[in-house]
A and B are shown apart, each in its own frame.
Chain A
Amino acid sequence: MTEPVDLREFLAGFLAEADEILRGAHACLLAIEASARKGASSPRAVRDLYRALHTLKGLAGMVGVEPIVDLAHAMETVVRLADRQAGLLSTAAVDLCLQGLQAIEDRVRQLAADKTVSAAPAALLAALAAWLLFALPCNLAAGNILSLTMPYHINPGRIAGQPGSQSSRLTAMLIQAGTLAVGAAVESLCWSLEKQWLAVPILLVLAVAAFLVWKRVLGNVDAMALERRDELIATLMKVQ
């Protein structure tokens, strides 16, 4: 009978593929950064970056390198949000992701040198999580309002590429750009003061404020829907 496989046998293969994925991810981030400096989005590069991080997380999990799983997962969550918002990723978020990639590269090198892999840097994970905690309720609140003010029919099985209302998309992009601008301003300020840790409490305070706004929006959704009921039904019937 054949012996069960030990997936650590694939460590050499992991190192080679991780190196390739990291080079691709780096190129994506540079393209995103160049677009962000011009105030433009880069949906293709954001999608490719998301896929690269997702693949890396899966492979690292299979060979049991948890610090790389943690880093890739934190970055993937931030990039996925950008992917869902037309590929907008601020320069501050790009900086965080570049730090994340560097941290992953360091750990890949440790693994290649047969050294103990360091745990994922807590400060970086906290910064990524704080950014996300702030951005998420902003986008959820915007999504709730937009779904009532500029509705379009959504098939949950096929959300990607759904031909939605152009004005709804444009407004969603503008709201996301505003969210990113606030996050970027906070991160940039803290970076310029060389107090990167300060971004975490500031973003957490903003996250609480954004969450309260979202909660308030949720509380008013029924009333808003009732007020716009006839218009909503007419629009949804027309778009279907």
Chain B
Amino acid sequence: MPHLLIVDDSKLMRDMIAACLRPCEGLTFEHAASGLEAIERLSLQRFDLIVLDLNMPDIGGVEVVEFIRGQDKLRALPILIVTTRGDETSRAAVLAAGASRYMTKPFQPDQILAEVRGLLAGPGA
């Protein structure tokens, strides 16, 4: 049963993302409201995918990606960036840091659903 970590400083946004993924049956979710909380959870539990915002109050999304890619046990964790920042610089920086996919808000429920299904299916799917 895939276990997802949704990281965004807005509770409403976390709830919306979880609701969008409702049709993907069998998913279970945990939420983190900041980059620091995300890192704490990632250190304690195993996740199959992380949905990550970039703009957060303490540690930003890019730093969380760098942390994940720097840990042996997390290196293969798929990371879906979901952000309001649509500029190429932000996209290039976070993909260079090791994020798997990048999508901008606002998005349609079907879009994030397709991205999550694709990432959970793995690169060979």
Chain B contacts for A61, CB-based, 8 A: 84, 105-106
CB distance from B109 to the nearest CB of A (A): 5
**Per DSSP, are chain A's interface residues mostly helix, strand or loop, or mixed?**
helix
Q: Which residues 75-116 in B have Cβ within 8 Å of A in the complex?
A: 83-84, 89, 93, 96-97, 105-107, 109-110, 113
Q: Which residues 14-45 in B have Cβ within 8 Å of A in the complex?
A: 15-16, 19-20, 22-23, 25
Q: Name which residue of chain B comes closest to A6, CB basis.
A: B109
Q: Given the known A-B contacts A4-B110, A51-B57, A54-B55, are A59 and B25 also in contact in the complex, defined by CB atoms under 8 Å?
A: no
Q: Which residues 59-109 in A have Cβ within 8 Å of B in the complex?
A: 59, 61-62, 64
Chain B contacts for A2, CB-based, 8 A: 22-23, 25
Q: Name which residue of chain B comes closest to A21, CB basis.
A: B10
Contact B23 A10 (CB under 8 A): no
Q: Given the known A-B contacts A7-B16, A61-B105, are A55 and B23 also in contact in the complex, defined by CB atoms under 8 Å?
A: no
Query: Does B3 belong to the interface (CB within 8 Å)?
Result: no
Assign chain A's interface to a size class. 20 to 34
Q: Name which residue of chain B comes closest to A66, CB basis.
A: B106
CB distance from B99 to the nearest CB of A (A): 12
Contact A58 B13 (CB under 8 A): yes
Query: Does B12 belong to the interface (CB within 8 Å)?
Result: yes
Q: Which residues 142-193 in A have Cβ within 8 Å of B in the complex?
A: 156-157, 160
Neighbour of A7 across the interface among B23, B84, B93, B109, CB < 8 A: B109
Q: Given the known A-B contacts A10-B15, A55-B10, are A157 and B23 also in contact in the complex, defined by CB atoms under 8 Å?
A: no
Contact B110 A13 (CB under 8 A): no
Q: CB within 8 Å of B: which residues of A?
A: 1-5, 7, 9-10, 13-14, 16-17, 51, 54-55, 57-59, 61-62, 64, 156-157, 160
Q: CB within 8 Å of A: which residues of B?
A: 9-13, 15-16, 19-20, 22-23, 25, 55, 57, 60, 62, 83-84, 89, 93, 96-97, 105-107, 109-110, 113
